[in-house]
Amino acid sequence: MSEGTDASGTGASAQPKGIDPRGPRFAASITAVLLMIAVFLGLTGLSTATDSSGWAISSASLAERASDPGFIALLIIALLFLWSVVSPRTAPWGALFRSVIAPRLSPPTEREDPRPPRFAQGVGLFVTTLGLILHLLGVPWALPIAAAFAFVAAFLNAAFGFCLGCQMYLLLQRTGLVGRERPAAI
């Protein structure tokens, strides 16, 4: 969202701008599968376990919370989200799509702006990080619920091509949280 990156000044990439829209959807389907696994590990792990004194996570040590399989799975997913936000071109699923999948498909009929998928990865990063932090603080159910929200977004993107990031961007902008340019005061 920084203006300098793709403002008209660069001009080097004059040919078909944008990325193949099937790339982010391919990545989203892998992410959805990984998130499904994280939800499952979260549900069966420490996050939802109870013992005689109540929630098991409340009495667990920080190391125990951090070594929960669900936590590790979601941490890996969060790091992948971070990768896609920081450097979308080198992110593994996108690279896999371009090198293995795309050459076997017909060329894309249209291209899309790479910023929406990147913004959506940022939303995914935010949700999963929130779940990880709450889990480390000892909040029960935080892990599978955060993973489930991210799963819904990834699945809707993969299966229905529904761009949750677009909607969110506009909503956030209306509340003034993003989008630095306010209309000039008249």
Partner 1 sequence: MTLINALIGLAVLLVATVALGIFVQWRQGRPRRHIPHEVIEPTRLGADTLGETATLLQFSTELCARCPGVHRTLAAVADGREGVSHLDIDVTHRPDIAKHFHVLQTPTTLVLDRHGVVQTRFGGAPNREVLELELARLSGETAHV
Which one of residues 142, 146, 148, 150 is an interface residue with partner 1 (CB under 8 A)? 148
Which residues from 82-121 bind partner 1, rule CB under 8 A? 110, 112-113, 115-117, 119
Name which of 42 and 138 has its Cβ closer to partner 1: 42
Tokens 């376990």 found at: 49
Count CB atoms within 10 A of the CB of residue 180.
9
Backbone torsions φ then ψ of 54, nearest 5 degrees: 115, -140
CB of 40: closest distance to partner 1 in angstroms? 6
Total Cβ atoms within 10 A of residue 51: 11
Nearest to 35 by CA among 124, 159, 104: 124
Identify each DSSP E strand in 56-183 by its residue range. Answer: none
Q: Is 43 in the site for partner 1 (CB under 8 A)?
A: yes
Site of interaction with partner 1 (CB under 8 A): 21, 36, 39-40, 43-44, 48-49, 110, 112-113, 115-117, 119, 144, 148, 151-152, 155-156, 159-163, 165-167, 169-171, 173-174, 176, 179, 181-183
